[in-house]
């Protein structure tokens, strides 16, 4: 992960086909590995889509035979020297070693050295990115001027100019959040103006999720419990996707993002006072609001809850393959004390968030699309596991690839026989 996410990203700026393909496939490989193991809904699919900007039209034409040239051979050699150098330097910095049929590694640099590397690499990567952008623009202009007919040449040139201005605006805007990694970098005021004008459209953004590695030492999870009496017995609320019962199998959710289950993860990382929506959830559960109950597992809904509390647990996967349980959990602390509709802590929270008292009506302007989606959602409901959908998409992709390969082989054989 460290090798692909840090040093391999510098290959993005290299003007060589081999380095572009190496950086593209390494990023896609990492994202696919995260998809198979991480269950991060559609985020990794978006990253893969962004990686396609590293490719050119010729990279999709597998039938085209590339002619041998001195410049092409030189770029091929330079590319492999860069790729091998990255792996050698990474092996040295992370102190990789192989012993007793196992691979071990450790960080071979200090925090001060890493900070210096970060500040330096951010500074010079801006120079490289801007320089290669204008090199690509000049190359595109030259290619456009080589068009044979005047109107074709004019069409190509206008297209290059328009796309170049759009790319320049995106580049100038993206440098603002990127330069924030190094506080000593002073960008021109024009960059800030472009970023300010484009900010409402969310074209470029800073990386906001998981700035720090979470889940180290166990997965924190909130367990909601309800009871009709303050003395119990207490029954757990079951969610469709997030861990709850220790014998519950982790479902496959990609590309779906179960928003409530997702937010429960972030709530477990801090105090409930930092998440006003959490108290809103408790309030709606106590009122048994149907729209909210539909977001939970109907098989695990407590009957007639009068009190709700939240406990914080740390979850780990079980080690033994013979165990029927998927998880083992350890109680950490009381996250929210038992509350009812008359509890002061709940009443003050819902008043602050406008759930009771004077409320502003939301504008409602239904369209054919929104009505159709609502109707479709009422039929589909909340699927618990999307692994069948993923398997169907995978089978379709493999089938399409096999058909294309067979068609290509048939055409090659046909042309060979005619020759």
pLDDT score for 84? 93
How many beta carbons lie within 10 A of that of residue 361, not counting itself? 5
Q: 219, 326 in Cβ contact below 8 A?
A: no
What pLDDT, on the 0 to 100 scale, is given for residue 362?
59
Res 310: pLDDT: 96
pLDDT of residue 359: 56
Asked if 127 contacts 115 with a C-beta cutoff of 8 angstroms, the reply is: no
Would you state the pLDDT for residue 256? 82
Splitting the chain (419 residues) into consecutive groups of 10 residues, what average pLDDT does each group show? Answer: 85 86 93 84 87 84 70 88 91 83 84 90 90 91 90 92 94 91 90 91 75 78 94 91 90 84 91 91 93 87 92 92 88 95 90 69 72 79 71 82 78 67
Alpha-carbon gap, residue 159 to 140, rounded angstroms:
10
What is the dihedral angle through the alpha carbons of 109, 112, 116, 119, rounded to the nearest 10 degrees? Answer: 120
Check if the beta carbon of residue 182 is closer than 8 Å to that of residue 121.
no
pLDDT of 333 reads: 94
Structural contact between residues 267 and 312, judged by C-beta atoms closer than 8 angstroms: no
CA distance linking residue 76 with residue 16, whole number of Å: 7
Each residue's pLDDT tens digit, 255-303: 888 889 989 999 999 899 889 899 999 999 999 998 899 889 888 788 8
Task: Give yes or no for a contact between 147 and 153, defined as CB atoms under 8 angstroms apart.
Answer: yes
* Nearest-5° Cα angle at 406, 405 to 407: 90
CB contact set of 300 (below 8 Å; sequence gap of 6+) = 236, 237, 238, 244, 245
pTM, entire model: 0.74
The pLDDT of residue 304 is 86
Q: Distance between the two ends of the chain, CA-based, in angstroms?
A: 49
The answer to whether 314 and 268 have CB atoms below 8 angstroms apart is no
For the record, the structure tokens of 189 come out as: 């005021």
For residues 270 and 261, what is the distance between their CA atoms, to the nearest angstrom?
16
């Amino acid at each position: 992960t460290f090798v692909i996410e840090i040093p391999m990203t510098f290959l993005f700026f290299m003007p060589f086909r081999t380095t572009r393909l190496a950086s593209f496939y390494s990023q896609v490989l990492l994202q696919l590995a995260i998809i198979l193991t991480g269950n991060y809904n559609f985020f990794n699919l978006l990253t893969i889509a962004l990686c396609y900007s590293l490719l050119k039209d010729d990279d999709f034409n597998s039938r085209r035979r590339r002619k041998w040239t001195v410049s092409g051979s030189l770029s091929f050699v330079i590319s492999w020297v860069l790729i091998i150098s990255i792996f050698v330097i990474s092996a040295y910095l992370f102190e990789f070693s192989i012993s007793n049929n196992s691979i071990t590694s450790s960080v071979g640099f200090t925090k001060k050295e890493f900070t210096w590397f970060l500040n330096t690499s951010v500074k010079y990567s801006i120079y490289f990115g801007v320089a290669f952008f204008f090199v690509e623009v000049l190359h595109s202009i030259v290619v456009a001027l080589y068009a044979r007919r005047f109107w074709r040449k004019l069409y190509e040139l206008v297209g290059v100019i328009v796309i170049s201005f759009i790319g320049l605006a995106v580049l100038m805007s993206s440098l603002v959040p990127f330069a924030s990694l190094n506080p000593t970098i002073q960008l021109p005021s024009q960059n800030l103006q472009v970023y300010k004008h484009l900010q409402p459209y969310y074209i470029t953004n800073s990386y906001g999720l998981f700035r720090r590695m979470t889940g180290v030492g166990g997965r924190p999870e909130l367990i909601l419990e309800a009871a009709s009496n303050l003395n119990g017995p207490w029954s757990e609320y079951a969610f469709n996707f997030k861990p709850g019962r220790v014998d519950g199998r982790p479902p496959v959710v990609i590309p779906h993002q179960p928003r409530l289950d997702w937010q429960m993860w972030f709530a477990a990382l801090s105090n409930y006072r930092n998440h006003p929506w959490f108290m809103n959830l408790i309030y709606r559960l106590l009122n048994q609001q149907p729209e909210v109950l539909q977001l939970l597992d109907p098989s695990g809904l407590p009957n007639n809850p009068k009190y709700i509390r939240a406990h914080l647990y740390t979850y780990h996967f079980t080690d033994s393959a013979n165990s029927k349980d998927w998880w083992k959990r350890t109680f950490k602390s009381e996250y929210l004390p038992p509350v009812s509709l008359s509890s002061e802590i709940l009443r003050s929270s819902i008043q602050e968030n406008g759930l009771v008292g004077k409320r502003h009506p939301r504008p409602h302007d239904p369209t054919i699309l929104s009505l159709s989606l609502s109707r479709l959602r009422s039929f589909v409901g909340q699927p618990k596991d999307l692994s069948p959908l993923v398997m169907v998409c995978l089978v379709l992709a493999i089938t399409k690839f096999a058909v294309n390969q067979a068609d290509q082989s048939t055409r090659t054989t046909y042309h060979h026989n005619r020759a």
